[in-house]
Structure 1
Amino acid sequence: MRKVKVRLRPIVSRINLPTVLKTAILPGESTERLFIATQPGEIFYIGNGDVRTFLDIRPQIIKLGTSGGYDERGLLGLAFHPGFSYNGLFYLHYSVAGTQGPGALSERFQPDPCDPKTLNLRWTNREAHYDHIDTVEEWILQANGQPQKRRTLLNVRRPFYNHNGVNSLNFSPETGKLVLTSGDGGAGYDHFNLSQDNMEIAGKIIEIDVVKNTNISNPPAVTRFNELPAPIQETLTVIAKGVRNIPGISFQRLFNQYVKYIGNVGQDLAESIFSFVHYKPIPVTQLIQASLRNIEPDQEGFINFGWRGWEGAFPTSIIKGCSANPTLDEKIIAYYDEAVITSVKRLPPLTSYFHQDPRPDKFEGTALTGVQPYMGDEIPALTGSVVFTDLARHEESRPPVRGVLAYTRVRTDGKLNDYRIIETDDHFGSQSAYYVSLGTNLDQTRLYLGVYGSTKVTDFNQGTIFEIVP
């Protein structure tokens, strides 16, 4: 892969932490607008050179940053219906105000392979022991230009405050369905193994048929598919399981088919990007019937990313210091049996990058924050490649911190590929620059980068949106 250097052209600055960057054509217009959703609950768009407010739902968002300022809740997803320019429909995914709970566990957890009870924890008393409720809603831009909520599609209880996904709503150009990418519920190591349990909503990629059964407008808050009303179950299919945490799904058209890209945020070892073309989603009604009959559903063509048994290309490990040599780490397989069971069922990653990497031309990552294909020709070395962002270089523990931009490609033989860092100009001086989001336009010929000066959602107005240009 070639060396690539790009510039970051600032578009807008002094905004709150940006979670979603995407373009859409407003009803009555013909030009794409860049929309920016922020974690506290604002949605802006760029119109005629200035920043305009599209929607502000901050009062409807759970109180953020109550434990030190860092948070993974808030406004997580924004998706525009493929017919938005004439029907005005769009969709939101966010953490609901007033739903704060005590959480699913009262103390910090780490699996211990020598203690079976830590490997088989169960999430009990879920109606009381949860952190918050996330909702997926359908909205419409009315003729007077004012957005209005139409109905709620899902209400989901989450066990912990983190791993809720981000950029979590996208429409599939293949099926026309809304795709929800849901993390495993948080707190590390997937305590309750929700991501591999077919009945759990957590840790899945779910298609929602927004045309079907539109008469139910306020479903109950649940954690499992079989707790949903039957008409809601009938709108859902599951594309994949084994998700830890995920910055959305993206689709790249190649000839008459689409390549799907998924980034799975790692635990301690690696951040991983997966790609697939063919898949066979399973209707939720089939999953429920199989569960009732205590049989495994037909999973031929179903995607499994392998978590919690696998972290990318590696069995999930616990990293401990070596008492005999403080410069080395001991790595213990956390869930050996699960790694064996899922070894042949899982999808291998397209590429991984690592939290520790001795190679001089690589970087030590922290957390994957965006994955987008680039189909433009203004940066020829990137055309047809997959661009991704990491929050911050792991080795830069002292300010000013810098995020990382990199790219990879799909190999024709389907094997694991390497990646290369994309060099950028530096606008930031003594200010830290965490790369928190990555977006693109409708035909994937432009790339947008969201940068923030802090990891705390309570530190306001430190965000800048850049376009990545030659």
Structure 2
Amino acid sequence: MIKVKVSLRPIVSKINLPTVLKTAILPGDSIERLFIATQVGEIFYIGNGVIRTFLDIRPRIIKLGDSELGVSRGGYDERGLLGLAFHPEFYYNGLFYLHYSVAGTQGPGALSEPFRPNPCDPRTLNLRWINRENQYDHIDTVEEWILQSNGQPQKRRTLLNLRRPFFNHNGVNSLNFSPETGNLVLTTGDGGSGYDPFNLSQDDMEIAGKIIEIDVDKNTFIYNPPVITRFNELPAPIQETLTVIAKGVRNIPGISFQKFYNQYIKYVGNVGQDLVESIFSFVHYKPIPVTQLIQASLMKSKPGLEGFINFGWRGWEGAFPTSFIRGCSANPTLDEKTIAYYNEAINSSVKRIQPITSYFHKDPRPDKFGGTALTGVQPYMGNGIPNLTGSVVFTDLAKDKESQPPVRGGLAYTTVSTDCKLNDFSVIETDYNFGSQSAYYVNLGTNLDQTRLYLGVYGSMKVTDFNQGTVFEIVP
């Protein structure tokens, strides 16, 4: 693959951690503007080089960086404002959608101690999330808002209220509209901790670990739905607005769509556990109505799942059976890798789809990098960087995390091979000098026709370290 070099052009700096970067045309406006959502709850847009506030919901956001079970997370958090999407008719109807973790909903968490699967202890392989009304970490909400004619945004209704077991794996850039169906797509992580303790991602009734389409044009006349975790707990009018595209998701930095003749290629990145980060693509799929899933569950039958996408987690981490890694006592320079869930790896081996590319947390090859966590996947359809045209660009939070500070994020690309075989990736080199400051690559965004790429960078892993963010455009 061709070595690609790019420049980073700063657009705005000294902002909080950016979780969403996308463009939209405001009602009555004539140009596409870049919108930036931050984890703490601000939404800005750039107009004529000036940054303006579109909406500030900081009081609605859960207190970030707090401790859980008396254990401090040191300012690291995966909750907050995680999703922003504009209705395809936003220019005419002013509708947009938010996904965030709600203030005042902090709970004790679903487990009293850190989870680790042990193949020798069946109890760790068959845990159940019980007492959900009390044993949860927080509540996430998905809301519909409208930009009123006076220019002030106002909340219209709540689409979903989701109880989450742990603080992490809530997804990020989690709301996007499908150009195929016109529906809102919600990408949810597996609920968190590590290794998906309750196997929520494979359970057809669990909302966690899925890609879900919401028909927002159907009015349910339910403006504040109950707080739930499973599809069958939803009121019937809401069930009827939902279809499920995929399961087996661990954690996910959104879904993106690339137009290819008269159809769309969908790209989804699945964040790995300890071994590998993976990017999947699919064209054809058969979304399953939630009402059908519930019916099958009641009848204890399997719904017709042909065409239902399964990424394989928790049995599989990308193309590998999920492993946990521990040091070899006889040789400290080596690691022992043990299959965590042997039976589940077998059960889901045929049903899952294969990634189009993977990259590893440790990679001995000189022209690659070791990754930490996938943070963005976007197709690039522009001509400005010819060597990237038609390819899929992705970002990693921090490459070679065992190396010396300051930290640098990873930028790379891959192409989809027509035979659908696993493809390699190539590093994209940048010429920007971050100096002694760390630069975590936290987000990748694009404009409406995917001819421009935007990179969100943060100077710290802690959401409680404020104003350390810069948004760049990736340019030739």
TM-score range, shorter chain: over 0.9
Question: How far is 1:213 from its partner?
Answer: 2.8
Identity %, equivalent residues: 84
In structure 1, what is the Cα distance between the partners aligned to 2:369 and 2:434?
19
Return 210-219 or 46-55, whichever deviates more.
210-219
Q: Deviations over 1:8-34 (max 9, x none)?
A: 000000000000000000000120000
Instruction: Within 5 Å, give how 1:165-314 maps onto structure 2.
Output: 165-314=171-320
**Contact 1:7-1:425 at 8 Å conserved across structures:** yes
In structure 2, what is the Cα distance between the partners aligned to 1:449 and 1:108?
33
Q: Could you say which residue in structure 2 is the equivalent of 1:34?
A: 34
Q: Could you say which residue in structure 2 is the equivalent of 1:21?
A: 21
| Secondary structure in structure 1 of the residue aligned to 2:293 | helix
4+ runs deviating over 4 angstroms: none
| Secondary structure in structure 1 of the residue aligned to 2:181 | coil
In structure 1, what is the Cα distance between the partners aligned to 2:363 and 2:469?
29
The AA in structure 1 aligned to 2:242 is L
| Secondary structure in structure 2 of the residue aligned to 1:195 | helix
Q: Could you say which residue in structure 1 is the equivalent of 2:69?
A: none
Q: Deviations over 1:145-169 (max 9, x none)?
A: 0000000000000000000000000
The AA in structure 1 aligned to 2:376 is G
Q: Could you say which residue in structure 1 is the equivalent of 2:7?
A: 7
The AA in structure 1 aligned to 2:233 is E
| Secondary structure in structure 1 of the residue aligned to 2:202 | coil
Question: How far is 1:324 from its partner?
Answer: 1.4
In structure 2, what is the Cα distance between the partners aligned to 1:359 and 1:416?
17
| Secondary structure in structure 1 of the residue aligned to 2:200 | coil
In structure 2, what is the Cα distance between the partners aligned to 1:206 and 1:35?
24
Q: Deviations over 1:88-147 (max 9, x none)?
A: 000000000010000000001100000000000000000000000000000000000000
**Contact 1:402-1:434 at 8 Å conserved across structures:** yes
**Contact 2:255-2:267 at 8 Å conserved across structures:** yes
The AA in structure 1 aligned to 2:58 is R
In structure 2, what is the Cα distance between the partners aligned to 1:331 and 1:65?
32
**Contact 1:184-1:190 at 8 Å conserved across structures:** yes
The AA in structure 2 aligned to 1:262 is V
Q: Deviations over 1:382-435 (max 9, x none)?
A: 000000000001345432100010000000111000000000012310000000
Q: Could you say which residue in structure 1 is the equivalent of 2:167?
A: 161
Q: Deviations over 1:37-78 (max 9, x none)?
A: 000000000011110000000000000001310000000000
In structure 2, what is the Cα distance between the partners aligned to 1:137 and 1:230?
18
**Contact 1:195-1:202 at 8 Å conserved across structures:** yes
**Contact 2:170-2:192 at 8 Å conserved across structures:** yes
| Secondary structure in structure 2 of the residue aligned to 1:445 | coil
The AA in structure 2 aligned to 1:139 is W
Return 128-137 or 392-401, whichever deviates more.
392-401
Return 375-384 or 211-220, whichever deviates more.
211-220
In structure 2, what is the Cα distance between the partners aligned to 1:213 and 1:146?
23
1:338 is aligned, of 335, 341, 344, to 344
Q: Could you say which residue in structure 2 is the equivalent of 1:43?
A: 43
Instruction: Within 5 Å, give how 1:69-468 maps onto structure 2.
Output: 69-468=75-474
| Secondary structure in structure 2 of the residue aligned to 1:138 | strand
The AA in structure 1 aligned to 2:152 is Q
Question: How far is 1:325 from its partner?
Answer: 1.2
| Secondary structure in structure 2 of the residue aligned to 1:360 | coil
| Secondary structure in structure 2 of the residue aligned to 1:55 | strand
In structure 2, what is the Cα distance between the partners aligned to 1:394 and 1:88?
43
In structure 1, what is the Cα distance between the partners aligned to 2:290 and 2:400?
39
Q: Could you say which residue in structure 2 is the equivalent of 1:59?
A: 59
**Contact 1:396-1:402 at 8 Å conserved across structures:** no
In structure 2, what is the Cα distance between the partners aligned to 1:47 and 1:215?
36
| Secondary structure in structure 2 of the residue aligned to 1:381 | helix
**Contact 2:85-2:177 at 8 Å conserved across structures:** yes
The AA in structure 2 aligned to 1:194 is L
Question: How far is 1:279 from its partner?
Answer: 0.2
In structure 2, what is the Cα distance between the partners aligned to 1:435 and 1:152?
31
**Contact 2:401-2:407 at 8 Å conserved across structures:** no
| Secondary structure in structure 1 of the residue aligned to 2:103 | coil
**Contact 1:268-1:355 at 8 Å conserved across structures:** yes
Q: Deviations over 1:306-351 (max 9, x none)?
A: 0000000000001111111111111110000000010000010000
In structure 2, what is the Cα distance between the partners aligned to 1:7 and 1:311?
33
User: Cα distance 1:23–1:232, how it changes in 2: closer, same or farther (>3 A)?
Assistant: same
Return 212-221 or 243-252, whichever deviates more.
212-221
Question: How far is 1:294 from its partner?
Answer: 0.5
In structure 2, what is the Cα distance between the partners aligned to 1:142 and 1:276?
37
User: Cα distance 1:243–1:224, how it changes in 2: closer, same or farther (>3 A)?
Assistant: same
**Contact 1:169-1:248 at 8 Å conserved across structures:** yes
**Contact 1:22-1:439 at 8 Å conserved across structures:** yes
In structure 2, what is the Cα distance between the partners aligned to 1:394 and 1:60?
36
In structure 1, what is the Cα distance between the partners aligned to 2:427 and 2:402?
16
Question: How far is 1:176 from its partner?
Answer: 0.2
In structure 1, what is the Cα distance between the partners aligned to 2:93 and 2:57?
21
Q: Deviations over 1:337-382 (max 9, x none)?
A: 0000100000100000001111111100000000000000000000
In structure 2, what is the Cα distance between the partners aligned to 1:304 and 1:394?
29
Return 440-449 or 62-71, whichever deviates more.
62-71
The AA in structure 1 aligned to 2:83 is G
In structure 1, what is the Cα distance between the partners aligned to 2:122 and 2:439?
42
Aligned pair count reads 470
